[in-house]
Amino acid sequence: MENFKLPHISIPKFELPAAVKRVLEEAEDKLAHRPKLLRQFKNCFPNTLETTTKLMEDGTTFVITGDIPAMWLRDSVEQVMHYVPLAKEDQQLQRIIGGLIKRHMMYAEHDAYANAFNETANGWHWDACDETDMSAWVWERKFELDSLCFTIRLAYKYWKETGLTDIFDERFKKVMISIVRLWKTEQRHFEESSYRFQRRNCPSIDTLRNSGLGMPVNYTGMIWSGFRPSDDACDFHYNIPSNMFAVVCLRQMQEMARWVFRDEALVREMSVLEEDINHGISLYGKYNHPQYGLIYAYETDGYGNYCLMDDAGTPSLLSIPYLGYTGVDDEVYQNTRRFILSKDNPYYYEGKSAKGIGSPHTPPGYIWHMALSMQGLTASSDEEMLEMIALLEATDAGTGYMHEGFQADNPAEFTRPWFAWSNSLFSQLVYQAMLKEII
């Protein structure tokens, strides 16, 4: 795709919500002793609202990922997640976040397999020759299990923070039901699924093998995924952190089905699916490592093959407590954390300027700012949280913003200078440190 010219989307400016302004004012006081970090926070905290958010006339909200003019379900949620705790008393944030949830529902109803969508039915695609069931609304149709998990994550967190229920209309319930049906179908991908994806003349990580079906898997109770949260193809199609995320979301959907929609039959169906997936993770998703003990694998096929690694993108093994699947102190998580934050993880890099997790999505030796932010958010000590903040502060290449990946020996070499998700996750970490009064 090197010669592909990205189309442009105009993002109108609007006044920052009052709650966001108050946080920036708070930072002026709490970060005054660290002027560089203060500048970064003041740049990054409002970045999503200032550069990627568009309020639509139909009451929904469209959020581009940054330097790509499409809305990823995953990215758009994490781009606004640090605003959700501020929304209870701020009607402007309620309009923005509630509108984004409604936009998600519109897209999910249109195509539950797609990962990224257009602002309108304009026919823009990442690759116009993708061999899958595309539509004019869809920018890319890589089935990534985590995409719809993020949709549920945002709705649930918004509901719990604000107490507002206006998002829970008939379309919302219909989408919840469709998510359950799709996930049950993808438990038996080869027997029951119509989903196929092929892309020609591309790197192997951008397409599915076996005529678009993917590599063979055994039934495990877990949900098949074509692609990882990085948009790269899975090696083995049961991605463990994504299935953990699905378990958490099924628990959240059961709450919504019970207390909002009063549908106990749907609650029971979700509960059975949750138990199936969780059993699969427990039985097939762990690996007894000779050095680290029992750890979670990144992927498996259910036939005894494992991919032992971690990727910087969320959901990741590093992010397990952030997702809510286990606590930070869980023994298997701590074993896994020691593994993925070591050179035994093929995508963990150490250089002159930094050490941390990267991704096969970026060049070897590139560490992701998002992984450093996630390491801070899941740290078991204040010292580790502050260490990550200091590392992020030192590796922005003087730009005042976070990036995708940067060279471990030279942070001035980096990918994606405008990556709103990374800015938001960094903001979430620094704001948590401010609330804890440790910075």
Residue 139, H or E segment: strand 138-140
What fold, for 114-346? Glycosyltransferase (1.50.10)
Query: Which residues are bridge partners to 101 per DSSP?
Result: none
User: According to the model, what pLDDT value does residue 5 have?
Assistant: 56
Phi and psi torsions of 117, nearest 5°: -135, 160
- Domain boundaries, given as residue ranges, for the chain: 114-346
User: According to the model, what pLDDT value does residue 1 have?
Assistant: 35
Q: Quick one: DSSP state of residue 327?
A: -
In three-state secondary structure terms, 105 is: helix
Query: Which residues are bridge partners to 287 per DSSP?
Result: 295
Span between the terminal Cα atoms of the chain, in Å = 43
* Residues 219 and 279 sit within 8 Å (Cβ to Cβ): no
Q: Which DSSP string do the residues of 356-414 spell out, in sequence order?
A: EE--TTS-TTEEEHHHHHHHHHT-SSHHHHHHHHHHHHHTSTTSSS--SEEETTEEEEE
User: According to the model, what pLDDT value does residue 23 have?
Assistant: 98
User: According to the model, what pLDDT value does residue 4 have?
Assistant: 47
* Residues 44 and 31 sit within 8 Å (Cβ to Cβ): no
Residues contacting 113, CB < 8 A, separation 6+:
132, 133, 141, 143, 182, 195
Nearest to 189 by CA among 217, 212, 167, 152: 217
User: Tokens 């823009």 belong to which residue?
Assistant: 124
Nearest to 179 by CA among 98, 89, 113: 113
Nearest to 21 by CA among 71, 93, 81, 76: 93
User: According to the model, what pLDDT value does residue 134 have?
Assistant: 96
Positions of the chain with pLDDT lower than 70, given as ranges: 1-7
Nearest to 226 by CA among 138, 143, 127: 143
Nearest to 103 by CA among 51, 150, 66, 135: 150
The pair of three-digit structure tokens given for residue 172, joined into one six-digit string: 């919302």
User: According to the model, what pLDDT value does residue 128 have?
Assistant: 87
In three-state secondary structure terms, 216 is: coil
Cα distance between residue 239 and residue 102, in whole Å:
28
* Residues 256 and 159 sit within 8 Å (Cβ to Cβ): yes
User: According to the model, what pLDDT value does residue 89 have?
Assistant: 94
User: According to the model, what pLDDT value does residue 110 have?
Assistant: 98
In three-state secondary structure terms, 120 is: coil
User: According to the model, what pLDDT value does residue 9 have?
Assistant: 75
Letter string b/e over residues 316-349, b meaning 16 or more CB atoms within 10 A of that residue's CB: bbbbbbbbbbbeeeeebbbbbbbbbbeeebebbb
pLDDT tens digits, one per residue of 150-164: 999 999 999 999 999
User: Tokens 């005529």 belong to which residue?
Assistant: 211
Cα distance between residue 164 and residue 158, in whole Å:
8
User: According to the model, what pLDDT value does residue 6 have?
Assistant: 63
